[in-house]
Structure formats: structure tokens, C-alpha cells
Structure 1
Amino acid sequence: MTQVDVTTAAPDAAPAPRRRLIDRIGGPGNLSLIGALVVVVAVFGAINPGFLDPANLAGIGEAVTVFGLLAVVQTVVIICGGLDISVGSQAGIASVVSAMAFTATGGNAFVGVLAALGVGVVAGLVNGLIIVYGRVNPVIATLATLAAYKGIAQLISGGKAQGFVLDNDLFIFLARGKVAGLPVPVVVLVLVALAMHFLLKYTDIGRNVYAIGGNDTAARLAGININKYLLAVFVLAGVVSAVAGIILTARTGSGQPVSGSEGLELKAITAAALGGCALKGGKGTIGGTLLAVVLLGALDNGLNVVGVNTFWQNVAQGSLLVAAVVIQQRRSGERAVGLPT
């Protein structure tokens, strides 16, 4: 009898190492993203060999830095059950403030950076206060502040690019410097992503963020202060958005009220959804989001390299977002809106 039990248990136990390997890589969703990235690189590389040029690949890394930072922090917000549509506008206002503070202080880059980070804290805190104490849905609240922050950036800048920062060593380093052979903006993205990954995966704070997004009622009954966490998460989104704005200022050489940050929120949300974030909260990984960021960057660059109209990039992003949400809905097994069960 014992031999029979061992024999029947063996087939179930055998796949476990493979499942653990897949989990370590990031799950089946991440494997799909890796496969899609390989296909995109192979197709564009075959059409135009210049796509695979090391300089072009490095350019992709630098190009995705700003929206990659926003996508990483958007992942944290979504996991917590929220959504911040204003991250692009926050990056824009931080960019303008950093350049204007730099100019007003006679070229003090540290003041410019600190001013931008301060604006990020305030903008994120305003979002959090509206959501927590105004009891406004995060989508509606941040849709409103998307317009408000964009308007403020245009008002204080007169709708024009502000200052010139590329005569300063710090901004030159942020724009063109390298660390261990990698461009500084890419290093900043990697460091922020690692910090967010550690926070979510290895700390009680991260576990509580997942718990709030998964079931806020159960989290509240477990003694988690949901209001405090929501405020902290939206302030974090503001700070990282400000970092993105500082990188944007360094790359363009001036404060950009709108042009450099327009549409970044859509890219950030698309990357988070493609990376496996459940838009209802409680699920997602930083690794998946980073893979999606690289995929979107490769797709945008590839379309440019092969001479496709840049307007198709918006079509591709929208299509990918719809596809990601549809796949999530199918996997969850939830009833489709307006259709019979």
C-alpha cells in the first residue's frame, strides 16, 4: 500500500521544480513578455539591422528612463488599489521648478533638485489628502490634478521651456554621465526599481500594501491604517515623479512644462498593466513592469527605425493596454460587463 501511495504522489511532485523556476523568473506572465520582447527585437532587427546597433540599444535604455520611473511607482500605487493619472503632470511641474530654482539661485543645482523633490512631496500629498479625506475615487481625483498640475506648470513658466541647465556639472552628469558603463538615467531607474522591489517583497510595508489592494476590508480588520498607507503611497508617487522630472530637465537642458511629459501617464499605466498589475489592486511585480517598459521602448524605437508614422505608437500603446486588461479579465474569471455569465 505504501508503494502505491509513493507512486501516485510522484507525478504531482515532479513538476514542482519547474514551477519554482518559473516563479523565480517572475511567473508565466513575465515569460510571455520576454517572448514578446524577443519577437519584437528579431522582427525589427531583420527589417533594419541598425536596430541592433549597440548605440541604438543604449538609446532605447535612456529613452525609457523617464516613463520607466513613473511606471515603477505606478505599480506600487496600483498594487495598493489606487491609480495616479497625474504622474506625468507632476513630472512636468517638477521639471519646470527645478530649472527655475536653478536659474533663480545663480546656477545652484542642488537647490533646483531639492525644489523639485519638494514639489513632488506637496503634489503627492495633495492627491492623497483629496482621496483619503475628500473620499474621492483615485481616478477622478488624479484626473483633476492632472489638469491642475499641468495648468500650474504652464502658468509659472508662461507655457515655455525654462532656463538652461547643461552648463552645470551635476545636470551634465545626470544627462550624459555613466556609471559602470551604464548611462546615469538608466542607473537611477534601476536603483529606484530595486528599492521598490525590496519594499514590496521583503518588508511588512510591502505586504500591507498588497493586503490593502487585495482586500481593504480585511486589511482594516487586521489593524492596518489604510489612510496612512494611501497618503504615503501617493507621496511616494510624487517624489518619484519629481525624480523623473529632474531627469527630464537634465536630458532636455531646460524645464519642460508640458512637451516632455505629455502622455507619460498613459505609458506608465500601460507598462504596469502589461507587467501583470491587476488594475483592481493586490497584484503586480516591479520585474514585470520593467520588462513591459523595455518592450514598449523597443516597440517605439523599432517603429521609428523602420520609418513608421509616429502616430502609430499611440495606437500601439492603446491596443496593448486594452489587450492587457482583457487578458486580466479572462484570467480572473469575472463576469464581463453587459454579457451573460
Structure 2
Amino acid sequence: MNELAKMKTKNQPKRARTWLSRLPTLSISNWAPLLALLILILLSALASEHFLIPRNLTNVLRQVSYTGIIALGMTFVIIAGGIDLSVGSMLALVGVLVIMLLNYLGDGWTSVVIVVVAAMAMGAAFGALNGWLTTKGKIAAFVSTLATMSIFRSLTLYISDAGEMVSQNSYYPDLGGGYWLGIPIPVWLFLSLALLGHVVLRHSAFGRHLCAVGSNPKVATYSAINVQGVYLLSFVIVGFTVGLSALMLSSRLNSVSPGDAGLFYELDAIAAVVIGGTSLSGGKGTLWGTVIGAIILGIINNMLNLLGVSPYLQGTVKGLVILIAVLMQFKRDR
């Protein structure tokens, strides 16, 4: 009995070390986006007395949610080793088609429910088209989505005759313009999708396969992972999020401007993903990092407006932030 007790005591440190090794490692690089956000909030509060006003914070979160929802889907694509440049034009096309369908169906909540389902289906279908061109067509994602970006925008202008599309449904503005518990509905949708995406990415077989495909497609193929299927599904996911964002934006404005809707949204979405710490080379990333990245961009834009900085210089500041994020990522990967 004494010998058995000694053996148990001897093995305890080893088991403890094994258990500790399973815990996530903490490092400055992992927490860099959150630290940057906290510092930015502090500096913004000191720079302007209007920043911490609840109405201003609510407006920032609302504005962030439109591109943030798309950025969540973009995270999946970038982790898989791809990119989607067509999301802004896709949003405009889905928005115009949704308004046209809504006006055709007439007034009432039934029409709103139908267009919600239609928007998600159309976004997923357009995303599947991008994925199909990349996987089956063997066209690089950068090239194929660059082409569809032009196609989607052109179709949007043609279908709408380059004129603003206005909804005739009296219930539609409540979808994206409403509040729940004092917080805009688009913000709730943004955070809910982030939570759902985190569960899928971290606690599902698809999430593990996605990271494997982004890290090394050949090794993933040898591991019996359907590389093309996973890659295609990542584009379907970003298309789905574009459909939701189109709903939120068009219902908030109760209209869609075919030339301006979604303009440069692809850049904001990619910037949020990169600032959030997702590697552009694929294989790793987090949804909560993307959420933080989107909020950082929103706060920067808000502070530039509050401080009266020329809107022509805001793109310069945003570009510098992206460059810094990429340089930090490069240093960390080395």
C-alpha cells in the first residue's frame, strides 16, 4: 500500500503539468488587439468630451455592425487562405433585389419575412458562385472576386437603372432601425453572429478543417479533408453575412443607392480582420479579434469626425492603421 501511495504521489506533478499544457498560452501578441482598443478608448475619451455620450457610442456600434457582419464572414475566407473583394458590390446587388422583391410583395410583415429569407439565400448563392469560380474554375480568389465585384456592381446599376430604390413597406424600417434593450438590432445581430461563428470555428470539425486548409492544403488533402468543399463553404458563409448586412443597411435607410451602397466595404471588412490578428496567409484567426478590429476602425472614424479632421485624410489614417497591423503580424510570424 505504501509503494502504491508513493507511485500516485510521484505521478501527480506529471499530470498537473499535462493539464497546464492544455491551457491557452498568454502573450502580448494574442492580446494586442484588445489592448489597442482599450488604449484607443482612453485616448478618445480624453480627446473629446462627446465620445463617451451613450448616443455617440450607440451610433459607433451601429455603423460598425454593417461592415462588421461582413468581416465575420471574411474571417472564415481569409483563414481558409482566400479573399473576397466582391462583398461591397454584392451587398448593393442583394439590397436592390430585396427592395424590388419587397415592393412587389406589398406591405406587411409577411413580405418582410420572405425578403429576409431571400436575402440570405441570394447572398449565399453569390458567395457560392465566387467559391465555384475559385475551386472548380481554378481561378485565384483575388482575380475571380475582382471580376465578380465589377459584375455585381454593373448588374446593380442596370437593374435599378442607376436610380435609388425606395421601399414601400411600412414595416421594413423596423428591421434594421429598431432597438432592443436600448441597443440597435444590427448590433445584436453582429454580436450574435460573432458568438455563433466562434463556436463553429473553435468547437466544430469544420473549424478545425478550415484552419488545416488555410495552413497547408496539401497536408489537409492527405488528412482526408475535402479541401475544395471547405474552401467553397467559406465563400458561402461570407455571402450569407453579406445578405444579412444588406438587410440591415437597406432597412435602416429604407432605400438602396446602387452606386454608393457597400462602396469600399470590402476594404473595411479586410482591415477589421487584419487588425483583429487573423493571418493573411491563412490558417489562424479569431472571430472576437475581428469584432475588436471592426470597433477600432469605427472609433477611429468617429474620433476623426469629432475632432474635425478632413474626411479626405481619414483614408490615410485608416491605411496607416492597416499597415501597422500587418507589420506587427509579420514580426509575430517571424
Same fold per superposition (TM over 0.5): yes
Name the structure 2 match of 1:173.
Answer: 174
Counterpart check, 1:284 vs 2:285: yes
Structure 2: how far apart are the matches of 1:137 and 1:72? 21
- Give the equivalent residue in structure 1 for 2:226: 225
Closer, same or farther: CA 219–52 of 1 in aligned 2, 3 Å: same
Equivalence for 2:7 = none
Q: Which of 127, 130, 136 lines up with 1:127 in the alignment?
A: 130
2:54 & 2:219 partners in 1: Cα distance? Answer: 50
Runs of 5+ unmatched residues, structure 2:
1-9
Deviations, residues 68-119 of structure 1 (Å, cap 9, x unaligned): 0111111111111111111111111111111111011123222322332232
Distance 1:28 1:289 in 2: 17
Residues in 1 aligned to 2:29 and 2:149: alpha-carbon distance in whole angstroms: 30
1:279 is paired with a residue whose SS is coil
Give, in whole Å, the separation in 2 of the partners of 1:179 and 1:28.
Answer: 36
Q: Describe the SS at the equivalent of 1:153.
A: helix
- State the alpha-carbon separation in 1 of the partners of residues 157 and 78 from structure 2: 28
Aligned to 1:52: 52
Residue 114 of structure 2 corresponds to residue 118 of structure 1: no
Encode CA deviations 1:275-326: one digit per residue, 9 max, x unaligned: 1111110010001111111111111111111111122221122222222222
For 2:159, the equivalent position in structure 1 comes to: 156
| Whole-angstrom CA distance in 2 between matches of 1:137 and 1:268 | 19
Identity of aligned residues (%): 30
CA distance in 1, matches of 2:272, 2:309: 21
Whether the aligned pair in 1 keeps the contact of 2:278 and 2:286 (CA below 8 Å) is yes
Deviations 1:37-82 (A, max 9, x none): 2232222322220111111011111010110011111111111111
Residue 223 of structure 1 aligns with an amino acid whose one-letter code is A
Sort the Cα spacing of 1:126 and 1:166 in 2 relative to 1 into closer, same or farther, 3 A: same
Matched residue of 2:298: which SS? Answer: helix
> 1:56-95 to 2 correspondence within 5 Å?
56-95=56-95
Structure 1 unaligned runs (5+)? Answer: 1-5, 334-341
Q: 1:180 offset after TM fit, Å? A: 3.2
Distance between the aligned counterparts of 1:315 and 1:190, measured in 2? Answer: 28
Note closer, same or farther for the CA distance 1:166–1:34 as it changes in structure 2 (3 Å cut).
farther
1:1-341 alignment runs, 5 A limit: 23=26, 28-107=28-107, 108-164=111-167, 167-168=170-171, 171-333=172-334
Aligned-residue offset at 1:328: 1.8
- What is the TM-score normalised by the length of structure 2? 0.89
State the one-letter code of the partner of 1:176.
G
The alpha-carbon deviation at position 30 of structure 1 amounts to 4.9
Is the Cα contact below 8 Å between 1:81 and 1:279 reproduced in 2? yes
Partner secondary structure for residue 49 of structure 1: coil
CA distance in 1, matches of 2:168, 2:233: 31
Letter aligned with residue 233 of structure 1 = S
TM-score (norm 1): 0.87
- AA of the residue aligned to 1:65: S
The answer (yes or no) to whether the contact 2:33–2:277 under 8 Å persists in 1 is: no
Structure 2 letter corresponding to 1:193: A
Give the total of aligned pairs.
315
Alignment-mate amino acid for residue 137 of structure 1: A
C-alpha spacing 1:155/1:137, structure 2 compared with 1 (3 Å): same
Q: Which moved more, 1:173-182 or 1:47-56?
A: 173-182
1:103-156 Cα offsets, whole Å, 9 max, x none, are 111232223223322321221111011101110111111111111111111111
Aligned residue for 1:3? none
Once residues 317 and 299 of structure 1 are traced to their aligned partners in structure 2, the CA distance between those partners, rounded to angstroms, is: 8
CA contact (8 A) 2:29 2:332 kept: no
Equivalent residue letter for 1:35: L
Q: Is the 8 A contact 1:85 1:143 kept in 2?
A: yes
Task: Choose 113-122 or 76-85, whichever is displaced more.
Answer: 113-122
State the distance in 2 between where 1:70 and 1:163 align.
Answer: 23
Contact (CA 8 Å) 1:89, 1:258: kept in 2 or not?
no
> 1:165 Cα shift?
5.1
